[in-house]
Amino acid sequence: MYFPLYLISTVNKNTLKEFLHDWCRVRNIRTDWQGLLSPCVGKTQWGEYHTIFTRINMTDADTSYISLMDIRPAGDFSRISIQSQTSEGNRKLSGGDAWRVRVRGPSELAPTIIDHENGTYEVLFLALDAGEYRVVVYLDYTLCDGYRDPPEYWFMVGNIHGSNQVHGILGKESQYLCKPLWRGTPLVITIPPAQGPLRYDEFISLGFGDPLYCNQECGLLWDGYGRWFNGSWIPQIQAPSPLSRSARRKQGVLWVYGDSIAARLHSSIKNTLLCTDIFRRCDVTYNWVYTIQNATVEKNLNDFQDFRIDKILSELRQVLYRPEMDKHSTVLLNFGLHFVSSINFTAYQRLITRVLDMIAEQESDGKGMMQKRYKGGIIWKTTTPINREKFANPHHQARRFMTNQEDESDGEEGKRFDHAQTPLLVSKGQQAPVHRGRPSRRREGGFQRGFLIGRRF
């Protein structure tokens, strides 16, 4: 028999209300692209190079400092505040910096960083395991450089997928900083053990983890938050039931459509219950911006053409309208890294709008009624953190627009899929893993943004 914790412990309503506030802040921020871009409105166009005046207002990681630490017991939200300063030691009064923070100890965490647009940055995280943690803080960009769009010619001077530009194409550009706070002076915190039940456990037992409590419009967003503990991924909200209990049996096709992350996902699930028992089969289409025929050749192939949305839609139609893609089928769609690093945000939004329009296309049923042409489901799979700092040459200009800030825009577009007029799921999460176990070299702490499908079938 299940007894909610609120029946067997003393619950402080004020502290639970505060917990709910932070819980919802973390989850609502991830779909608020206007809020994310707010500090940089009108400052993202390429070519707005730093003048002498702006250079003296650049944030300096050596002089910036931790202005506040509110460390709570395990099971409660803790926060740290970063105060940005210039090289002269002057406090910044505006936002636009890109601080990267990881918290490593008994478990590994990727905090939410909130730009208060006054020179301070709130680092918010939920530690469920007591103990000593090391907080690693880096300044990647300042003066909104992390949100800057590529120049108009960028796609055309790359390969046929708009990538692999030659180094030097942007002149002497060196906006990627990757500088540690305080020259890398260690910052160690101690999360004390909770006195009694964890605040998190009380919160979950009350049912407050439901998206409705956060006034989230996107009811089908996968939560995706969690932590790595002893090499295993532990989500903050558990799936309601395992795949083995699904009533579906060999119905429809699950088609994974995306880049190498999507292709690896397909490889990891193709021999599991999901693809052998739940669906009839799983299939995959590998693309960068367009579908890939020969990656070795196409990496260095250039046709000097600009980004073509019609070509992308034509290739996607070839999957959506296959005879076997019936009402029981699902397409897991990942338009991630290769898009956000090669086109500007406006072009990316146009692409998503056109994809949504195509999904909503109708046709006659032969009886005078209109019906959806594609009758299956859609899952928008967000992409993983870039972790550019782990590249062999992170300052190569071909990677200039591979920023975590641009990457966040991919996740924000998932919100629009939740409102599309077709059966779908939106996978979204700042920290959800594709694979269990230790992360690969380029994936920071295994914090993957997106994917979990089983709970809905």
Query: How does pLDDT run along the chain (457 residues), one tens digit per residue?
Result: 333 433 334 445 568 889 999 999 999 998 888 999 999 998 898 876 666 557 789 999 999 999 999 999 999 999 999 999 999 999 999 999 999 999 999 999 999 999 999 999 999 999 999 999 999 999 999 999 999 999 999 999 999 999 999 999 998 877 899 999 999 999 999 999 999 899 999 999 988 887 777 887 766 778 889 999 998 999 998 876 666 667 778 999 999 999 999 999 999 999 999 999 999 999 999 999 999 999 999 999 999 999 999 999 999 999 999 999 999 999 999 998 899 899 999 999 999 999 999 999 998 888 888 889 999 999 998 887 777 888 888 888 988 898 876 556 555 555 555 444 444 444 433 333 333 233 333 333 333 333 333 323 3
- Is residue 453 a contact partner of residue 427, using CB atoms and an 8 Å limit? yes
Closest CA to 307 of 160, 170, 408, 147: 160
For 15-142+177-214, CATH gives: 2.60.40.10
pLDDT recorded at residue 420: 47
H or E stretch including 292? Answer: none
Cα separation, 363 vs 372, whole angstroms: 6
Report residue 54 as tokens.
């702006």
Burial (Cβ within 10 Å: 0-12, 13-18, ≥19) of residue 183: exposed
Report residue 70 as tokens.
């509110």
pLDDT recorded at residue 54: 76
pLDDT recorded at residue 410: 52
Q: Is 113 helix (H, G, I), strand (E, B) or coil?
A: strand
Distinct helix (H) and strand (E) counts, the chain: 13, 18
- On the CB side of 8, CA atoms within 13 Å amount to 9
Task: Name the amino acid, one letter, at 24.
Answer: C
Contacts of 235 (CB under 8 A, 6+ apart): 223, 224, 225, 226, 432
pLDDT recorded at residue 114: 97
**Alpha helix stretches (DSSP H) within 47-177:** 52-55
Q: Which residues pair with 139 in a beta bridge?
A: 99, 179
pLDDT recorded at residue 174: 78
- Is residue 316 a contact partner of residue 362, using CB atoms and an 8 Å limit? no
Beta strands in 184-294 (DSSP E): 187-191, 226-229, 232-235, 253-258, 281-286
pLDDT recorded at residue 368: 83
Cα separation, 295 vs 317, whole angstroms: 22
Closest CA to 382 of 447, 441, 444, 439: 447
* Residue 387 Cα to chain centre, angstroms: 12
Cα separation, 404 vs 340, whole angstroms: 10
pLDDT recorded at residue 9: 42
Return phi, psi of residue 8, to 5°. Answer: -120, 5
- Is residue 87 a contact partner of residue 65, using CB atoms and an 8 Å limit? no
Q: Percent helix, strand and coil across the chain, each rounded to 5?
A: 30, 20, 50
> Please, what sign has the CA dihedral across residues 275, 378, 385, 150?
positive
Contacts of 146 (CB under 8 A, 6+ apart): 98, 140, 403, 404, 405, 406
* Cα distance between the two ends of the chain: 26
pLDDT recorded at residue 386: 75
Own/partner contacts of 162-169, CB < 8 Å, gap of 24 or more, are 162/289, 162/307, 162/338, 162/342, 162/343, 163/288, 163/289, 163/338, 163/341, 163/342, 163/398, 164/299, 164/300, 164/398, 165/397, 165/398, 166/397, 166/398, 167/396, 167/397, 167/398, 168/397, 169/397
* Four-CA torsion 289, 338, 162, 258, nearest 10 degrees: -20
pLDDT recorded at residue 310: 98
